[in-house]
Structure 1
C-alpha cells in the first residue's frame, strides 16, 4: 500500500530479452558440408566417360580413313597405273604390227589388219578408263586429252601410208606418211610415259599417307593410354576410401575399351599388310610384264622400220632417225603367254586389294557398341559410391 497523498510509482516494463539463436534443423537429405570425395568421384566419372568416348571416336576416324585410303588405291590409283601401262603397251604393239605389215608387204593385200585396229581400240578404251580412274590431278587430265588427239593423228597418218602403198604398190610412196606416223607415235609414247609417271607418283603418295603408314595408331593409342591411367587412378581412390579392391563395372569398362583399341589396331595392321603384299607382289608383276612386253614391241618396230628405211635409201640420217640396225631373234616371243601372266597378276592384285579393303572396314557398328559399353560401365561403376554421399540425384 502507498501512503495517503503519495504518487504510486509507474509500473516498469520488463526489459526485452534478446532472441536466442535457434539452431537450424539439419536437412535430412544433405550433409552439413560438401564432400571432397564426392566431387573427386564425379570428376573421375566424367573424365572416364569422356576419355572412353574420345578413344572410340578416334578409332572410328582412323578406321574410316584407312578404309578410304585402301579403297582409293585398290579402286582407282592402282588401276589407273595399270590402264596407263596397258595403253602404252597397246600403242607399242600397234606400231609393231603396222610397221611389220609394211616391211613384209601384207599391207598391200589386207591393209593394216584387224590386229592393228584392235590395238587402236585398246588404246582408246584404256584412255577412257584411265580418265575415270585418274587420281593425278589436272596435269594428268590435260595429258590424257593430248594423248587422245595424238592417237587420232597417228592413226590417220598410218591409214594414209597404207592407202598410198595399196594404190601404187611401191613402199617408197608410202614412206613419208609412215615416217610422219612414226613421229606421231613417238610423241604419243613420250606423253604416255609422262602420264605413267604422274599416276605412279599419285599412287605412291597415297600409299605413304599417314593413314596407311602406321602413324594412324598414335591417333587413338595416346588417349587410350591416358584413359587406362585414369582407370588405374580411379581404382586407387576406391581402394583407399572405400576399401574396394576391384570393381566389376570398372573392369568391364577397361576390357571393352581395350577390345576397341585392339580391334582397330589389328584391323589396320592386317589391312595394311594385305595391301602392301598386293602392291609389292601381283601389282608389281603386272606392271613389269606390261613394260617388258611394250619394250619388246617397240624394239621390234624400230628394227622393222630401220629395215624399211635402209631398203628405200642408203642413209637413214637424212630422215633424222637414230634407229638401230636389226638384230637376230624375234622380239615378241611368248607375247600370248606374257599377256596371260599379266592378266593373272592383275586378277590376283584385285583380289588382294579387295581383301585388304574388307579388313580395313572393321565393322564400325562393333566399335560403336564396344565404346558405348565402356562409357556406360565407367559411369555406372561410380554411381553407387557417389550415392553414399547423397550426390546421386544432383
Structure 2
C-alpha cells in the first residue's frame, strides 16, 4: 500500500510538471509572438510607411520650390533656392530611414535602390538647369532641363510612382503582421487550453491529497494554482494587445492621408508654376505636343496645403498608438517566470508526501 501510494504521488508530480512545461512553451510562444509583432509594427513598419510618405512630400515640395525659384528669376542668383536644398536633404534622410525600417522584403530594397538612383539623376538635371539658366541665352535649354528633372519625379515608372508602390508594399506588410498577431477565438482557446488543463490538474491533486491525507489545503500547490490563473490572465491581456494594433493601422492611414493632402497641394502649385513658365518661355509656337498637353491640362489655381501642425500631430498619434500596442507590462518575462515558479511549487508541494512513503530499510 505504501509503495503504491508513493508511485501514485510520483506519477501525479510527473503529470503536473509535464503540464507545466507544456503551458510554459505554448504561453511563451503566444505572448512573445504578439508582443514581438507589436514592437515590430511600432518601431519599424509604421515608421517605414510614414517615412515613405514624408519622402514623397519632401521631393514634391523640393520640385515646387525649384520651379518657383526659376519662375521668379531668383535662380540666376540662388539657383533652385535654399528651400529646395532643405527639402532634398529631408527627402534623403527619409529615404535612409525607409531603408532602415523597410518591411517590404527584398522587393522594397530593390525599389529603394532604383529610387535613390533616380533622385540622383533628378538632382543632376536640376543642377544642369541651374547652370543653363545662369548663362546668357541659355534659358530655353535650362527650361528643358527643368522639365526633364520634373518628369524624373512625376513621369511613369519614376520616383513618385515607385515610392507610391513602395508605400503600398509597406502597408501590405503592416496588414500581414496584424493578421498574424490577431488571435481568433479558436486560436485563443488553443493557447488557453494548456494552462487551463494545468489548473484542473492542480485542483484535482488538491482533492486527492485532501481525501488521502486528510489535509485541507496544500499551500505550495495553492500558490501554483494562483500563478496558473495569472498566466491565463496574461494570455487574455496579450489578446487585447493584438486588438490595439488596429488602432495603429487607423492612425497610420490618417497620417498618410494628411501627407497625401500636402503632396497634392505642393504638386498642384508646382505644376501650375511650371505650366505658366512654359507658356511664357515657349511662346505661341509651343514646346511640343507633350509639353503643350501638360500646360493645357494643368490648372493655374494654387491649392492650400495642410498646416505642418496637422502633419506633426498625425505622426505623434501613430507613435502614441504604437507605444500603447507594444506596452506589454513585461508579459514575455512574467508569464514564463510564473510557470517556472509554479513548477517549483509543485515539486515542493509533493515532496513531503512522497518523502513520507520513501522506502526505508
TM-score bin, normalised by smaller chain: 0.7 to 0.9
Query: Which residue in the other structure is 1:204 paired with?
Result: 175
1:10-159, aligned counterparts within 5 Å? 34-35=3-4, 37-159=5-127
State the Cα distance separating 1:201 from its structure 2 match: 1.7
Call closer, same or farther: CA 1:41–1:348 in 2, change over 3 Å: same
Looking at structure 2, the residues matched to 154 and 285 of structure 1 have their Cα atoms a distance apart, in angstroms, of: 30
Q: Can you list the C-alpha shifts for 1:101-135, whole angstroms capped at 9, x where unaligned?
A: 33333323432110111111112111112111112
Query: Which residue in the other structure is 2:267 paired with?
Result: 298
State the Cα distance separating 1:47 from its structure 2 match: 0.7
Q: Is the 8 A contact 1:86 1:290 kept in 2?
A: yes
Q: Is the 8 A contact 2:68 2:273 kept in 1?
A: yes
SS in structure 2 opposite 1:359? coil
Looking at structure 1, the residues matched to 72 and 325 of structure 2 have their Cα atoms a distance apart, in angstroms, of: 49
Looking at structure 1, the residues matched to 278 and 43 of structure 2 have their Cα atoms a distance apart, in angstroms, of: 45
Call closer, same or farther: CA 1:214–1:330 in 2, change over 3 Å: farther
Query: Which residue in the other structure is 1:362 paired with?
Result: 331
Q: Can you list the C-alpha shifts for 1:49-104, whole angstroms capped at 9, x where unaligned?
A: 22123313432333322232122111111111111111111111112122233333
Query: Which residue in the other structure is 1:20 paired with?
Result: none
Call closer, same or farther: CA 1:108–1:90 in 2, change over 3 Å: same
Looking at structure 2, the residues matched to 280 and 319 of structure 1 have their Cα atoms a distance apart, in angstroms, of: 40
Query: Which residue in the other structure is 2:250 paired with?
Result: 280
Q: Which of 1 and 2 has greater Rg?
A: 1
RMSD: 3.0
Query: Which residue in the other structure is 1:13 paired with?
Result: none
Given candidates 233, 247, 260, the residue that maps to 1:262 is: 233
Q: Is the 8 A contact 2:198 2:228 kept in 1?
A: no
Call closer, same or farther: CA 1:369–1:178 in 2, change over 3 Å: closer
Q: Is the 8 A contact 1:210 1:216 kept in 2?
A: no
State the Cα distance separating 1:166 from its structure 2 match: 2.3
State the Cα distance separating 1:284 from its structure 2 match: 2.8
Structure 1, unmatched stretches of 5+, are 1-30
Q: Can you list the C-alpha shifts for 1:171-212, whole angstroms capped at 9, x where unaligned?
A: 434232122212212211122112212222222222222367
Looking at structure 2, the residues matched to 392 and 376 of structure 1 have their Cα atoms a distance apart, in angstroms, of: 24
State the Cα distance separating 1:216 from its structure 2 match: 6.7
| 1:289 equivalent in alignment to 2:261 | no
1:301-312, aligned counterparts within 5 Å? 301-311=270-280, 312=282
Looking at structure 1, the residues matched to 10 and 116 of structure 2 have their Cα atoms a distance apart, in angstroms, of: 68
Q: Is the 8 A contact 2:266 2:305 kept in 1?
A: no
Looking at structure 1, the residues matched to 185 and 253 of structure 2 have their Cα atoms a distance apart, in angstroms, of: 22
Q: Can you list the C-alpha shifts for 1:252-292, whole angstroms capped at 9, x where unaligned?
A: 221121112213432x14533444334323x3332111111
Number of aligned positions between the proteins: 355
| 1:350 equivalent in alignment to 2:322 | no
Call closer, same or farther: CA 1:211–1:47 in 2, change over 3 Å: farther
State the Cα distance separating 1:143 from its structure 2 match: 1.3
Looking at structure 2, the residues matched to 313 and 60 of structure 1 have their Cα atoms a distance apart, in angstroms, of: 72
Structure 2, unmatched stretches of 5+, are none
Query: Which residue in the other structure is 1:330 paired with?
Result: 302
Looking at structure 2, the residues matched to 162 and 215 of structure 1 have their Cα atoms a distance apart, in angstroms, of: 64
Looking at structure 2, the residues matched to 361 and 241 of structure 1 have their Cα atoms a distance apart, in angstroms, of: 40
